[in-house]
A = this chain, B = another copy of it.
Amino acid sequence: MLYKNRLLTPGPTPLPERVRLVMAGDMIHHRKPAFKALLGRVREGLAEIFGTAQPVLPLAASGTGAMTAAVTNLFAPGEKVLVVEGGMFGKRWTEIATGFGLRVTVLPVEWGFAVAPETVAAALDADPEIRGVLMQLSETSTTAQHPIEAVAAITRKLDLLLLVDGISGVGITPCPMDAWGIDCLLTGSQKGLMLPPGLALIALSERAWKKAEGLSCASFYFNLCKERENSGKNQTAFTPAISLIVGLAESLEMFREFGLENIYRKQWALTQMVRTGISALGLTLLAPKDPAWGVTGLRLPEGVAAPTLLARAADDYGVIMAAGQGEIKDKAIRIGHMGWVDFADMLAGLAALAGAFRACGGYLGCRNYLEQAEVAYHEALTRGYKRIPS
């Protein structure tokens, strides 16, 4: 009872009480009218967040399941794709595509940075055999955000597909699928949607559907054409993750009440807040200029290891943050600010970070990092994200 636990990881995130309470209701049957009506409402809410007129399909799987579904439904073994690889989740696209028998051209991006759209254009120009681009909206492992709109402008002109892993971005940062011309957008439930993990959501563009229809789906479980057919009847091909869909209806109602634009505004403000706090502490941001809107990373100076620091933040402050991933596993800390969190959670997070840093022998000179962070939050919230070029 010294503190409340605060889950500040880039998924899973804390859950709103009202979402948890509806999920605690007794089970309902997925082939009955009440659930069908619920799925209908869920579809409407998801359509707004995904920004698409196409159906957003729920899969009982984690986000990686939806990535697998995207690759296996949209390509045939032997086809060539370009993967924008700027972190662990970029690598995951490569692994999935390679494992499925696609020929993969990797476009390496320095960790912590966004891809430059002109390098994508150059790679595509250089190899007309490439049939699709696979990338992240937010590369959770490096806390950098890729310029999807600009890449989509490139892929839209060519006859190839843009697949976007929006797992740490959908409902967090704007990514209107139809307006930008994305061909496949997917996410998981445990991020911006404020739910437990176990539900993945995926939508395809008209162009992508045409391609999927022409392929014989390689996966029995992840068969998007079959899911779309069921979706038209407010059903799913297999038993869905009922409790998560019940929770999703409630979290979408919260989105509706608060407004999607206000969510983005809040996420932008939290991002500015955490970045300002970290910089004020004299620490180095992992993504210096292309910030993800739901997670912020910092590089640890020599002599301070992530596991020790995380343990102190958890044990002394009840704040659960994440280490780096892959190459920077022990050399970075990532603070999640997505889902059911607010400015006060970030004050707690920054205070826990500073406290744990001191306890680990790190030197921090700044005395007013919390005030600076709070001011940054307030200013970003007031101005709104649209006036601030990212």
Kindly state the separation between the CA atoms of A32 and B307 in the bound complex, as whole angstroms.
11
Do the beta carbons of B15 and A29 come within 8 Å of each other?
Answer: no
Is residue A148 contacting chain B, with contact meaning CB distance below 8 A? no
Q: Measured between alpha carbons, how far is A306 from B222 in the docked complex, in Å?
A: 31
Given A12-B239, A220-B96, also A26-B30 (CB < 8 A): no
Give the residues in chain B near A217, CB-CB below 8 Å: 99
A244 at the interface (CB under 8 A from B): yes
Determine, out of A16-24, A114-122, A171-179, A366-374, the stretch whose residues face the partner at the interface.
A16-24
Whether, in the assembled complex, A28 has its beta carbon less than 8 Å from a beta carbon of chain B, the answer is yes
A62 touching B220 by the CB < 8 A rule?
no
Which of the residues B5, B67, B96, B238 comes within 8 Å of A62, measured between beta carbons?
B238
Q: Which residues of chain B are near A30, meaning CB under 8 Å?
A: 12, 197
Tell me, yes or no, whether A243 is within 8 Å of chain B by CB: yes
Q: How many copies does the complex hold?
A: 2
Whether B27 contacts A190 by the Cβ 8 Å rule is: yes
**A240 contacts B62, C-beta separation under 8 Å:** yes
Q: Which residues 227-256 in A have Cβ within 8 Å of B in the complex?
A: 238-244
Does chain B have a CB within 8 A of A11?
Answer: yes
Contact-residue size bin, chain A (C-beta under 8 Å from the other chain): 35 or more
Q: Does any Cβ of B come within 8 Å of A308's Cβ?
A: no
**A243 touches which of B31, B198, B219 (Cβ 8 Å):** B198
Choose one: B14, B31, B68, B220; the contact of A27 (CB below 8 Å). Answer: B14
Q: How far is the CA of A371 from the CA of B198 in the complex (A)?
A: 44
Q: For the complex, is A132 an interface residue (Cβ under 8 Å from B)?
A: no
With A27-B15, A96-B220, A220-B95 as known contacts, state yes or no: A64 contacts B242, CB within 8 Å: no
Interfacial residues of chain A within 167-222, with CB under 8 A of chain B in the complex: 188, 190, 196-199, 217-222
> Do A241 and B242 form a contact, CB below 8 Å, given A61-B61, A220-B95, A220-B100?
no
A136 at interface (Cβ–Cβ under 8 A)?
Answer: no
Q: How far is the CB of A297 from chain B (nearest CB, A)?
A: 16
The answer to whether the Cβ of A65 comes within 8 Å of any Cβ in the partner chain is yes
Determine whether the beta carbon of B219 is less than 8 Å from that of A219. yes
Q: Are B26 and A9 in contact (CB under 8 A)?
A: no
| CB-based contact A63/B7 at 8 Å | no
Q: Do residues A221 and B12 form an inter-chain contact, with CB atoms below 8 A? A: no
CB-CB nearest in chain B for A237? B64
Interface residue? A281 (CB, 8 A): no
Q: A29 to B5, alpha carbons, bound, how many Å?
A: 11
Interface: A25 (CB within 8 A): yes
| Interchain CA distance A331-B96 in the complex, whole Å | 44
Q: Tell whether, in the assembled complex, residue B26 and residue A7 are in contact, meaning their CB atoms are under 8 Å apart.
A: yes
* A68-B21 in contact (CB<8A): no
Write 14 A-B pairs (CB below 8 A) sorted by A numbering: A7-B26, A11-B239, A12-B30, A27-B190, A29-B320, A60-B60, A60-B61, A60-B62, A61-B221, A62-B239, A63-B238, A64-B239, A198-B199, A198-B242
Residue positions of A touching B, CB distance < 8 A: 5, 7, 9, 11-15, 20-21, 23-32, 60-65, 67-68, 95-96, 99-100, 188, 190, 196-199, 217-222, 238-244, 314, 320, 322
Given contacts A9-B29, A23-B23, A198-B240, 19 further A-B contacts (CB under 8 A): A7-B26, A7-B28, A7-B29, A12-B29, A12-B30, A13-B27, A15-B26, A23-B243, A32-B320, A65-B221, A196-B241, A196-B244, A197-B239, A197-B241, A197-B242, A198-B199, A221-B222, A241-B241, A243-B243
Pairs A-B, 6 closest by C-beta atoms: A198-B241, A196-B243, A24-B24, A68-B221, A62-B239, A64-B238
